A and B are shown apart, each in its own frame.
Chain A
Amino acid sequence: MTGRVRTTELPTLRCRGLRLRFGARPILDGLDLDVGRGEALAIMGPSGSGKTSLLHCLAGLRQPDAGDISVAGAELTRMSHRQRARVRLNSIGMVFQFGELLDELTVGENVELPLRLRRERGTAAGRLLGSVGLADRGGSWPAELSGGEVQRVAIARALAGRPVLLLADEPTGALDEGLSRAVGELLRSSASAVGAALVVATHDPIVASSMDRTARLRHGQLVAA
C-alpha cells in the first residue's frame, strides 16, 4: 500500500458485515454501509449505541471482529497498522468532539500538521483557515480560541490532507445551537468542495439536517431514519 488512494467507480466508503463486540455485548452486528463521493451521511443514535466505535473502525483506528471496510478501494481490514496509518494520513480526515488540537502547536501549525506528516511543504494553512473564517488566527494558540473556533480549526486540519473521506465524531457536542448549525453546514460545504464523502456521527438533529441522508444505529445495524 503506497501513496494516496485513488478514487474508483466504487463507493468511497464501503462496509460489509461489520461485527464488533465489547465482551459479550455486540456493538456492530453485521453492519453494511456505502457512502459515495461527495455524499454526506449523518449517523444518529443515543449515547453508547456504538457511533464512535463505528467511526474508529472506519478510520482504521480499531479493527472490527469481522467484516470488510474499503476506503476508495483500500481494504482497511486487511492492512497492517502502518498501512492503515498511511491510508488515514493520505485519504481520511477526522474531526473530534472537542477538536483535539495539539495544545503545543499554534493554530496554523495544527492545520499544517497533516501535510508535515506527509513531508509536504505547504502553505495551505492560511487558505484553509480562511475557508473556515479564521484567516487571522494562524499564530494563536488553541487555548486562545473559543469552542466554535476550535472546531472550525479542526475542520480545516481535517481538510488539509485533501481527504476522500471525512469522518466527524460528535463535532458539535460541545457547541450551542447556533454554532452547531454553522459547524454542520461548514462540514457539509467543505466536504462537497473537495468531493469527499462525509460521515458524521451525531445526536444533534440540526447537524443531521445538513446532511444528504441520515441513518440510525440500532442494535448494531444502520437503519434509514
Chain B
Amino acid sequence: MTSPAVRLALAASWRGGRADRRRAATLSAAVAVVTLMGCGCASAWALAGHVQDRAAARSFAPAAEGAPAAFERSALYDETPAGEQIYVYWWRQAGVGPQVPGVHGDPAPGSWFVSPALAERLAVDPGLASRYPGARPLADEGVAHPGELLAHRFVGDHVALDERLAADTEGWIGDGTEALELFPIAMAALALVGIPGLGLVVAASSPLAATVERRRLLLRALGASPGVERRVVATHALSCALPGALAAAVLWWHAAPRLTSVPFVGRAVFAGDLALSGPAIGAVAAGALLLAIAVASVRPGPDLAVRPAASTPRRASAVRGVPLLLAVVTMAAAGVVGGRAGARLFVTGVVATAAAAVIALPYVVDRVGAQLARHPGAVTLLVGRRMGWNAARSTRSLLAVGGVAALSPVVGAWVTVARDVDQPSTVSAPAVEVRGVLSPEEVADLARRADAVTLELVVEPPPDDRTPPRLLVVGDCRTLGSHVKLEACAAGAFSVPAGALGIGPGPLAGSATRPTDAEPHSTLFISDDPTATEALLRAHVLNADRPGRQVAVPGRELTHESPLVQWILGAGLLAGVVGVLALALHLSGQAADLARSRIRLVALGADRALVRRLAGVEAALSLLLVGLGCATVGTVSSWLFVQVDGQASLPIGVIALVVAGVLAGAALSGAAAGVSVPTALRSDRG
C-alpha cells in the first residue's frame, strides 16, 4: 500500500495539473527563501567568529607588574565629520616581540597606519586626512572587518602612554569590547528570521492544504492507515520542497564565498568570511525541508475549498489567549528579576509574545466574524461567516505579517537605547578630556587657538599652588550656563567671574560630560559647535605632537553604538520583505478559497462588483485584525521594555509606521484581492 501511495504523492506534486504544479512551485520557492535565510544566519555566525578572531589577535594582555612589556599603548578616540567613531591607538614597541597585526615593517615614530575603510574616507576628505599625515594602509589581517575605522600611531619615547602590554593576546573581551553573547543573538535570529521564515512556509503551504486534505480523504476511503496517510503527506511536501532547498543550497555554496557585503545588512565583509562548509549548508537545507514537512503535516481543520468534506465551523476558543497572557507576564516579571537574568527573561518574553499573539488572534478574528455576521448586509454576512469558519486556518498564513508587526515596536524601543548612547540627548557635542599638566604657555596657546575658532574661554584659577589651572571652552556663555546650572550669561556675555563658577566635578550636568572621574589636573573642553570642537581636536590633540596630550572620552565604550544595531535592522528589513511575500501568498490562497463560493454566488445573482467587494473586504479585514492586533501586542511589549529599561523610550515613530504600514497594506490587499479574484465563470463568455 505504501509504495503505490508514495508514488502517487510524488506524481501528484509535479506531474499533476497546472494548479498543482503552481502550488508545488510556490512551496519550493518559499523553502528556497527559508534555506537562504538559514544559510545567511549560519554565515553570519561564521562571520562573527572570523571578526572575533581578528579582533582578538590585536588584543594584547596587560603585562605583569615588573615584567617587561612588549608594547605600550593608549586607546584614543576620533570621529569622522559624519560622526562615525574611529578607534585610534597610539603604540610604542617597548621590546622585541610581535608586531601590531596588519602593520608590516618597522614603523618609525610618528607614522600612521589606517584601516582600508578609513583610508577610503581620508581619500575623499582632506580635512580628515590632515589628522593622519602620511597614513599607510593596514593589511587585512589587522582589521576585524572591512568596514572598521581604525588607526594606529607609533610614537617616540617622549610620549606617555597608558597601558603596558605583554606579547600574548587575551582575546576579544580584553579589548574593551563585549564578547558575542549567544543567547540574545539566537533569540533575535529566532524572532526576526525564524518567525517570518516559518510564516512564509505556512503561507506557501496553505494553498497545498486543500490538495493534501483531499488526498487524505481519498486514502482513508481506500483503507490506508494513518501511518500511510502521514507518509504520503510527508512525501508530497518533500517532493514539492526539495528542488527549492537544493537550488538554494547550491546557490549559497557558490555565492557565499564571493560575497563582500552581507545581504540586507549591508555590512562589508572580507570575501570568504561568509563561506559555509558543505555539511553546514546541507544541514540548513535539511532543516528547511523538515520545516516544510512539519507544516504540511499539520491539519489546519475544515477547509471550505475541500469537497466532498463539508463540515461545521471550527470555533476558536478563548483558551488561545493563555499563552499570550503568560508571555506578557514573563516580560513583566523580567523587571522584577532585573540584571542579566531579567534581560534574558525579557527577550524570551518578547519572542514568546510575538508567537503567542499569532496563536491568540484567531479568537479575535472569530469574535469579530460573529459580530459581522449579525449585520443584515450580504457582504458582511459572508465575510463574517467566512472569517469565523476556521479562523485559525485563515490567519495562519498571516503569521509572518503578525510576527513583524508584533516585534517591530520592541525592536524600535531597543534601537532607541542603542542609538541614544551614541547620541547623548543632553549634550550635542562630544566632551574631550586633555590629560596632563598644562603649562601657562600651553594655556595661552590654547586660548589663542580657541580665539581663532571664536570660542569663549574661561580659565579657572588654581585653588592652590599644586593644582594647575583649569580651562573651559564653550560655544557661548549660555551653553556654559546650561552646563554649570548657573545664570552665567547676561546680554550674551559672562556675568559671573570664572573663578566663581566652581567648575569641577560637581556642578557639571550630563552623564557624558560629567568629569567625576577626572584627575585633578584635567581640563575639560565643551563645545556646542562640532566644527569648533573638530578644530580643537585637530589643532591640539591629533596633529600636535605634544607629550602627554591624548584624547579620551569618558565612558568611551558606552558611546560606541551596539554592533547589533546594524544586524537587527538588516534582519528587520529581511523580515519585512518575507512578510510581504507571505502576505502575497496569503492573498493568492484567499482568492482561491473564494473561488467555489464565488460560483455559487454568481449563480444566485451576485454580480462581479459584489464578489470583488467580498474578496476585498475579507482580505483587508483579515490583515487589519492580524496587523493591528499584533501591533497592539508589540506596543504593550515595547511599553514594558521602557519600564524595564529606564533609558529606552517608546518608539512612537516605529509604532506609527507599523500602523500606517498595516493600514496601507490592508488597503492594497483589499484592492488587490478585489482585482485578482476571478469573477467570470469559465463558461461565461458574455
Contacts and interface: CB of A to CB of B under 8 A. Distances in A.
B310 A88 contact: no
A190 B381 CA distance: 27
Given A61-B684, A105-B385, A143-B312, A92 B607 contact: no
Contacts of A60: 686
Contact of B382 (A63, A81, A104, A121): A104
B378 interface: yes
B500 interface: no
Given A85-B605, A104-B385, A113-B378, A62 B683 contact: yes
A136 interface: no
A90 B605 contact: yes
B686 A100 contact: no
A218 interface: no
Interface in A45-73: 53, 56, 59-63
B605 A100 contact: no
Contacts of A100: 600, 603
Contacts of B606: 85, 89, 117
B466 interface: no
Contacts of A25: none
A144 interface: yes
Contacts of A96: 603
A36 B636 CA distance: 68
A117 B608 contact: no
B377 interface: yes
Given A62-B681, A62-B684, A63-B685, A116 B605 contact: no
B604 interface: yes
B511 interface: no
A69 to B, nearest CB: 11
A114 B386 CA distance: 17
B304 A113 contact: no
B684 A81 contact: yes
B597 interface: yes
Contacts of A157: 604
A102 B681 contact: no
Contacts of A144: 312
A146 B683 CA distance: 30
Contacts of B304: 103-104
Contacts of B381: 105, 109, 113, 116
A114 B607 contact: no
Nearest to A160: B604
Contacts of B376: 116, 121
B189 interface: no
B313 A141 contact: yes
B389 interface: yes
Contact of B377 (A88, A116, A142): A116
A96 B603 CA distance: 10
A141 B312 contact: yes
Contacts of B573: none
A59 B606 CA distance: 13
Interface string B301-319: 0001000001111000000
A143 B314 CA distance: 13
Given A96-B603, A104-B304, A143-B311, A81 B686 contact: yes
A103 B310 contact: yes
A158 to B, nearest CB: 9
Interface string B648-686: 000000000000000000000000000000001101111
B604 A86 contact: no
A84 interface: yes
Interface string B578-617: 0000000000000000000100111111111110000000
B604 A89 contact: yes
Interface string A125-163: 000000000000000011110000000000001000100
B604 A59 contact: no
A101 B684 CA distance: 21
A54 to B, nearest CB: 12
A82 B608 contact: yes
A92 B605 CA distance: 8
Contact of B378 (A82, A85, A117): A117
Given A61-B684, A103-B310, A94 B603 contact: yes
A49 B385 CA distance: 38
Contacts of A117: 378, 601, 604-606, 610
B604 A61 contact: no
Nearest to A117: B378
B310 A143 contact: yes
Contacts of A109: 373, 381, 385
Given A105-B381, A116-B381, A62 B686 contact: yes
B681 A85 contact: no
A87 B610 CA distance: 15
Contact of B600 (A88, A90, A102, A143): A102
A80 B684 CA distance: 12
Contact of B686 (A63, A105, A114): A63
Contacts of B313: 104, 141
A81 B681 contact: no
Contacts of A102: 382, 385, 597, 600-601
Contacts of B605: 85-90, 92, 114, 117, 161
Nearest to B311: A143
Contacts of B311: 103, 143
Contacts of B686: 60, 62-63, 80-81, 84
A56 B603 CA distance: 9
A134 B673 CA distance: 37
B607 A116 contact: no
A56 B602 contact: no
A159 to B, nearest CB: 12
A43 to B, nearest CB: 18
Nearest to B609: A82
Contact of B310 (A61, A80, A114, A142): A142
Q: Which of A56, A82, A104, A144 has the most CB of B within 10 A?
A: A104
Contacts of B684: 61-63, 81
Contacts of A101: 600
Contacts of B389: 103-104
A62 B373 CA distance: 32
Q: Which of B311, B376, B604, B685 has the most CB of A within 10 A?
A: B604
Contact of A104 (B378, B386, B608): B386
Contacts of A82: 607-609
Q: Which of A113, A114, A119 has the most CB of B within 10 A?
A: A113
A85 B609 CA distance: 11
Interface in B123-178: none
Contacts of A103: 304, 310-311, 389
Nearest to B384: A104
A56 B686 CA distance: 12
Nearest to A88: B605
B594 to A, nearest CB: 11
A80 to B, nearest CB: 8
Interface in B78-121: none
Q: Which of A59, A105, A141 has the most CB of B within 10 A?
A: A105
A152 to B, nearest CB: 16
Contact of A114 (B382, B385, B604): B604
A94 B604 CA distance: 7
A56 B684 CA distance: 9
Nearest to A83: B607
A81 B603 contact: no
A68 to B, nearest CB: 13
Going nearest first, the 3 A-B pairs with the smallest beta carbon separation are A89-B605, A63-B686, A85-B607
Given A82-B609, A104-B386, 4 more contacts: A61-B603, A81-B684, A94-B603, A105-B382
7 contacts: A56-B683, A62-B681, A62-B684, A85-B608, A104-B385, A104-B597, A143-B312
